[in-house]
Amino acid sequence: MKYTAKIKVVHNGKLYTPGTALPDTISKADMEFLKSKNYLVPCMDEPDADDFDADDFDEQTPDDDYKTADEIGKIRSKKDVKAYADAIGLDLGEGWEEKSLKDLKEAVILYQDEQEAAAEAE
């Protein structure tokens, strides 16, 4: 059975936002923990494989808008910044762990600004 997250879930560096169906790769123990905390709901309707059009799907784009600069400023760990960057399609590069938290946040904000400017130009 597939489950939808009620909260943000990070698994293998990928961010699953509330309302997102979780993959089958999450361990049974992790799924049981999430269910015990009432963080999951069963998916009612699973789309058929024939209904899925891969051209209309961007795996990196979160369901909702980008975080604001203030929201990004409140992130307290490099791993959380990295997970969010991955979710919006930003590759922070190999040495992201050596960069300061402030530099990582600034890179994410700059990337978002560039993406929004490019979208407005279209």
pLDDT digits over 37-93, tens only?
Answer: 888 888 765 444 444 444 444 444 444 478 888 999 999 999 999 989 888 888 998
Residue matched to tokens 């979208």: 119
Alpha helices in the chain (DSSP H): 28-36, 69-73, 78-88, 101-121
Give, in order, the Cα–Cα distances in Å from 68 to each of 59, 71, 97, 108: 21, 5, 23, 10
The β-bridge partners of 16 are 9
Rounded to two decimals, the pTM is 0.49
Per-residue pLDDT band for 110 (boundaries 50, 70, 90) equals very high
Task: Identify whether the C-beta of residue 81 lies closer than 8 Å to the C-beta of residue 9.
Answer: no
At 39, give phi and psi (nearest 5°): -95, 0
Residues 6+ apart with CB under 8 A from 112: 66, 67, 88
Per-residue pLDDT for 36 more than 80? yes
